[in-house]
């Protein structure tokens, strides 16, 4: 519930950002902005594409620390380590980019090895491994073939593979890159359907430049301003005049 001063009751939300901002040595990246995420389901952040939105997603997943403002999550305020430990982040090139020239088998094998105790030998992944690790994210959709090159995967399949590999531990919070990365509306809808399914057991945050219709099962759409990119876009446009 929002208080009389515009603040939020953190007991009602999994994550509350009050006037958070991130600045670099050369200037602002995003903010200040407010975000309040309710537990469970899918929240879509509606905002312009660019480094500001990416930085906000990274901040909400504990991968960046706000320069100013208050970020409360999992009962702690401005505790990026606790947030990091409770969140997975996927389909953001700056964090989980996959070498496009390797095969799906190598990606799955590497993830299994990362999860295994240091003393356990892990061989090449099998179809059973692929099914176990990817089916929760892919649902009824077709899994990629182990021998396929990542660069050859259809865009939706590639995005779901990255989410599956990042979400192996199923933490309470899953933050994914914008669903507007898809070039086809049908792929955006299918990706959202899969995120909504994951949202039955996790809190999922993603982004879209135009927002997403709630009829797809999205829990909330939040307009996010001050992503800085609007300012840069205006400057570029003025330079062209």
Q: Are 71 and 178 found together in one domain? A: yes
Q: Are 121 and 160 within one domain?
A: yes
Domain boundary among 170, 198, 220: 170
Same domain assignment for residues 16 and 72: yes
Domain count, the chain: 2
Mean pLDDT of the chain: 87
d(C-alpha 27, C-alpha 229), whole Å: 12
Residue-wise pLDDT for 29-71, tens only, equals 999 999 999 999 999 999 999 999 999 999 999 999 999 999 9
Give pLDDT, residue 10: 52
Share of the chain above pLDDT 70, in %: 87
Query: Does 178 lie in the same domain as 165?
Result: no
**Per-residue pLDDT, 96:** 64
Q: Is the confidence at residue 216, as pLDDT, over 50?
A: yes
Domain assignment present for residue 234? The answer is yes
Using only the alpha carbons of the chain, give its radius of gyration: 19
Per-residue pLDDT, 241? 43
Chain segment 128-142, per-residue pLDDT in tens: 999 999 999 999 999
Q: Does residue 85 register a pLDDT over 90?
A: yes
Q: Quick one: pLDDT at residue 117?
A: 79
Q: Which two tokens stand for residue 48?
A: 């312009």
Residues 211 and 146 in one domain: no
In a shared domain, residues 11 and 52: yes
User: Which of 170, 192, 223 marks a domain boundary?
Assistant: 170
pLDDT band at 115 (very low <50, low <70, confident <90, very high): confident
Instruction: Enumerate residues 6+ apart whose C-beta is below 8 A from 137.
Output: 160, 163, 164, 167, 194, 198
- Average pLDDT (200-205) is 98
Q: Do 81 and 179 fall into the same domain?
A: yes
Please tell me the predicted confidence (pLDDT) of residue 149: 93
Those residues whose C-beta lies under 8 Å from the C-beta of residue 178, and which sit 6 or more positions away, are: 49, 53, 206, 207, 208, 209
pTM listed for this prediction? 0.87
> Which of 123, 146, 170 is the C-terminal boundary of a domain?
170
Identify the domain containing residue 184 by its residue range: 1-86+174-241
pLDDT tens column, 141-194: 999 999 999 999 999 999 999 999 999 999 999 999 999 999 999 999 999 999
């Amino acid at each position: 519930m929002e208080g009389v001063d515009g603040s939020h009751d953190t007991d009602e939300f999994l994550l509350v950002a009050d006037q958070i901002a991130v600045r670099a040595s050369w200037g602002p990246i995003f903010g200040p902005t407010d975000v309040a995420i309710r537990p469970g389901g899918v929240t879509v952040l509606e905002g312009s594409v660019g480094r500001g939105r990416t930085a906000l997603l990274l901040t909400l997943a504990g991968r960046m620390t706000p320069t100013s403002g208050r970020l409360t999550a999992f009962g702690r305020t401005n505790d990026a380590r606790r947030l990091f430990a409770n969140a997975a982040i996927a389909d953001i090139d700056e964090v989980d980019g996959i070498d496009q020239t390797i095969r799906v088998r190598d990606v799955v094998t590497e993830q299994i090895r990362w999860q295994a105790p240091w003393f356990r030998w892990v061989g090449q992944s099998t179809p059973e491994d692929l099914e176990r690790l990817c089916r929760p994210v892919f649902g009824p959709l077709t899994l990629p073939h182990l021998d396929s090159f990542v660069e050859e995967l259809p865009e939706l399949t590639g995005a779901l593979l990255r989410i599956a590999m990042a979400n192996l531990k199923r933490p309470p919070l899953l933050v994914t890159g914008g669903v507007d990365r898809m070039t086809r509306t049908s792929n955006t809808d299918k990706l959202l359907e899969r995120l909504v399914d994951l949202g039955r057991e996790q809190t999922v945050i993603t982004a879209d430049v135009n927002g997403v219709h709630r009829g797809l099962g999205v829990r909330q759409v939040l307009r996010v301003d001050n992503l800085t990119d609007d300012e840069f876009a205006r400057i570029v446009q003025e330079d062209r005049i």
